[in-house]
Structure 1
Amino acid sequence: MSVVMADEAKDVHTEQLAACVRYVPPEDLKVVAQTYDGAPVMSGSVRGVQAHFREKHPQAVYVHCYAPDLNLVLCHTCKAIPEASDFFNLLENLFVSQCVYSQHDQFASIQEELHIEQRELVQISNTRWSCQLSSVNALMKNFPAVMKSLQKIRTPTALALHSKLSKLPVVYLFVVFKKLLGITEGFHKVLQKENVDLAQVVHYKSAVHDTLVSQGTAQVAEEIYAKAKAACRENNIHESSLGPRRKQKMGDFVVEVSCGSRSDLLNDSEHLKQRLFYPCINRMTSELENHFPNVEKEVMIGIQACLPASETFLCMQSLEKLASQYNIQLVPEEVMVTKSFLSRKGTEAISDILSVFKPLNPMMFPSLKTILQVTLTIPDSSCERSFSSLC
């Protein structure tokens, strides 16, 4: 069993392509899957590489690389919620402002003056999920030093950044994204592992999704609001009530909103909850559903049945869906004996698909051994890790 994986990256001068073949011994020539990024030329169902490849290898299901999918969840959330997009643009602008040599030295001096552990601000990256959380955490821990530094610099850019940070809705978003990104941090780390299998990815995704859904309550929103207000008090940020924009008269005209500007967010808990917290958490959960999983449904059901933590572990009906995809004759009695055999080993010894695969003798469990081999062969990512040094 084997899988074809490919990905490309481009530096300043050269475009590079990495192609890999993944297999689980004993290997044969059957190709069970193919993994690329989501570019239409690769993933297109009609003229994409995966479509042409399946003309010669019909059983090779297409698996979109999961690693960048988590980044797409945040990107699409920001596109749908303008305030979230503005928030991360603000983080990037703060990082750029601190990169100026003289301003960086002043920032370090203020950190020492305030007895704050010296921490650098983190640059935002559109391709690395961990950078988003690191950037939020770094700024929250350095918030007093950042505010004082911007006040001392007093350039137009610094004063504009200070003005934006001195608003409750912005501080509120810091607390919101610290929580939401913190929930997904472990999932990001799992997606970077080389030995994670597809069933585990979907299992962990479900846990993250359910956790996010459970946090979308009025009680959690009130807790976030309380933390944001406490942060404002600690940093002497005055909570001026920003009511609806007043109509301005200009001759015979009435101007309700100035061109190109967004309406100000009110400072009250209910407004921030409805305008920021609920939209952010709802969008992230829906994006998780849209991007995970993207494997054919019947195949995914069978893969899940191979995972010991799944409710459908070794369910005959579920396994048959995967077996039919690869023309494997699954024997019901073999599955029954496998359950009895594994029960003698205990739940601690059987923790993942590999721990199920290894102890099964291929002479005694030929069909199930083959199904597990297919499941282990199908990857969760492409060759993206080959280019980690270029990202």
Structure 2
Amino acid sequence: MSGQVSGVQQRIKETHPYAVYIHCLAHKLNLVLVDCCTVNRSVKTLLNVIGKLYSVFAEPTNHHRFIEVQKSLDMKPTEIAQPSETRWACKWRSLHAVKTHYSAITQCLREMSDEGGKWSVEATGLCEHMGRLSFITCLIVLEDILRVIHVTHKALQSSSLALSEAAVLTDNLKAHFVSQRQTDKWNDVWGSVKQFCRDNNVSVPEDANIQSQTPAGPGPLPKRKRATQPPTSLDNFLITTTLGHREENDVNTVQMSQSETPGFQQHLYFPVLDTIIGELDRRFTGEAVELAQACAAVLRCDKSGIEPLVQKYAQPLKINPHLVGTEMDLVKASTQ
């Protein structure tokens, strides 16, 4: 479809030069989510654990046990959805199921581990992972982020959605995540983590410092990391974002055990949000997005935002660009 040489979009442009190719915005958002979920090692570990949980509870005997435990705890029976490698926006359902049925899942895993049966090894490992503070923090952070993306993704798939409305949705999504990158927002998230731990009898170390970047306690000091320099090809450019660096060794403190001081804000929360904001900027740009935003400006009678639309279509539609603003002012006045 999108080939620049002989793709469908190029063949259409040969006879309709003013046509604009617009890639599926829902698919673009899905790609943003893929990058978000692979930027951090703890996020990848969380998703791997949830994938293993699906495999364990998809087995008929274990599935029956899971349903019975939920009923005994007065929970509405639910299932962990099968993970998809293409529809990442659907992963919110699995995260939500794990978060809301955490106690039932861990109880099942403990029972299976104590029995020493076929699934005891998998159950023991999964139960150990789910009891870690890093797992719970990642679960709370990612479930909240994916819930917002899930709502936007569903809206972008609507058959009745206009291009101008899609532009507003993506702009609002970016503005939401920019607003979440505030210290007070993180404090709310950390409060939710501690409350979740209290509700599920998971201990949180008293000396947990959410701003710390290095482990606490006895032992040798971490090795000093070699300073990373940008490539010389970028000497004449202003660098405003990270260069794709991944967390390593002592920097990735969210992998530490509960007895160590976590740095979840610096090495989990901010990297995930920054990746989402950066990818939204990168993927939701270009001629198609500019025209979508201009369409939204027309509907708002905002003449300051219609320039991309006027530049492209004023000539073929025989529109006087100097009169469009005046016409919009008159329409806006008549509707007030």
Of 63, 76, 81 in structure 1, the residue corresponding to residue 40 of structure 2 is 81
Distance 1:110 1:72 in 2: 37
- Tell me which amino acid in the other structure corresponds to 1:70: L
Q: Greater CA deviation, 327-336 or 134-143?
A: 327-336
Distance 1:82 1:270 in 2: 14
Of 76, 79, 82 in structure 2, the residue corresponding to residue 123 of structure 1 is 82
Of 142, 151, 155 in structure 2, the residue corresponding to residue 186 of structure 1 is 151
Of 122, 129, 132 in structure 2, the residue corresponding to residue 157 of structure 1 is 122
Cα deviation for residue 345 of structure 1 reads: 4.3
- Tell me which amino acid in the other structure corresponds to 1:79: T
Secondary structure of residue in 1 paired with 2:21: strand
Specify the alignment match of 1:166 in structure 2.
131
Alignment deviations for residues 179-217 of structure 1 (CA, whole Å, 9 cap, x no partner) = 212222331121111111112111111111011111111
Specify the alignment match of 1:197 in structure 2.
162
Distance 2:261 2:216 in 1: 14
Cα deviation for residue 72 of structure 1 reads: 0.8
Cα deviation for residue 145 of structure 1 reads: 0.3
The answer on 1:215 being equivalent to 2:206 is no
- Tell me which amino acid in the other structure corresponds to 1:329: K
Of 314, 318, 328 in structure 1, the residue corresponding to residue 317 of structure 2 is 328
Specify the alignment match of 2:198 in structure 1.
233
Specify the alignment match of 2:234 in structure 1.
none
Instruction: Specify whether residues 245 and 73 from structure 1 end up closer, same or farther in structure 2 by C-alpha distance, changes over 3 A only.
Output: farther
Specify the alignment match of 1:364 in structure 2.
none
Secondary structure of residue in 2 paired with 1:305: helix
Distance 2:218 2:34 in 1: 30
Distance 1:270 1:338 in 2: 55
The correspondence of residues 220-369 of structure 1 with structure 2, limited to 5 A, is 220-239=185-204, 264-265=255-256, 271-296=263-288, 299-300=291-292, 302-308=294-300, 312-313=302-303, 317-324=307-314, 327-331=316-320, 332-333=322-323, 336-337=326-327, 339-341=329-331, 343-345=333-335
Alignment deviations for residues 190-246 of structure 1 (CA, whole Å, 9 cap, x no partner) = 111111111211111111101111111122222212211221222222346875897
Instruction: Specify whether residues 117 and 215 from structure 1 end up closer, same or farther in structure 2 by C-alpha distance, changes over 3 A only.
Output: same
Secondary structure of residue in 2 paired with 1:80: coil
Distance 1:129 1:80 in 2: 14
Cα deviation for residue 330 of structure 1 reads: 1.0
Q: Say if 2:42 and 2:255, in contact at 8 Å, map to a contact too.
A: no
Report the count of equivalent residues. Answer: 291
Of 147, 153, 156 in structure 1, the residue corresponding to residue 106 of structure 2 is 147
- Tell me which amino acid in the other structure corresponds to 1:185: H
Instruction: Specify whether residues 209 and 245 from structure 1 end up closer, same or farther in structure 2 by C-alpha distance, changes over 3 A only.
Output: farther
Instruction: Determine which structure has the larger helix proportion and give its number.
Output: 2
Q: Say if 2:84 and 2:90, in contact at 8 Å, map to a contact too.
A: yes
- Tell me which amino acid in the other structure corresponds to 1:264: Q
Q: Say if 1:67 and 1:192, in contact at 8 Å, map to a contact too.
A: yes
Instruction: Specify whether residues 177 and 316 from structure 1 end up closer, same or farther in structure 2 by C-alpha distance, changes over 3 A only.
Output: closer
Q: Say if 2:164 and 2:294, in contact at 8 Å, map to a contact too.
A: no
Instruction: Specify whether residues 276 and 334 from structure 1 end up closer, same or farther in structure 2 by C-alpha distance, changes over 3 A only.
Output: closer
Identity %: 23
Instruction: Specify whether residues 158 and 99 from structure 1 end up closer, same or farther in structure 2 by C-alpha distance, changes over 3 A only.
Output: same
Which consecutive residues of structure 2, in runs of 5 or more, have no partner in the other structure?
Answer: 114-119, 209-214, 221-247
Q: Say if 1:64 and 1:294, in contact at 8 Å, map to a contact too.
A: no
- The normalised TM-score by structure 1 is 0.66
Which consecutive residues of structure 1, in runs of 5 or more, have no partner in the other structure?
Answer: 1-41, 248-256, 347-391
Tell me the C-alpha RMSD between the 2 structures: 3.1
Q: Say if 2:140 and 2:189, in contact at 8 Å, map to a contact too.
A: yes
- The normalised TM-score by structure 2 is 0.76
Cα deviation for residue 143 of structure 1 reads: 0.4
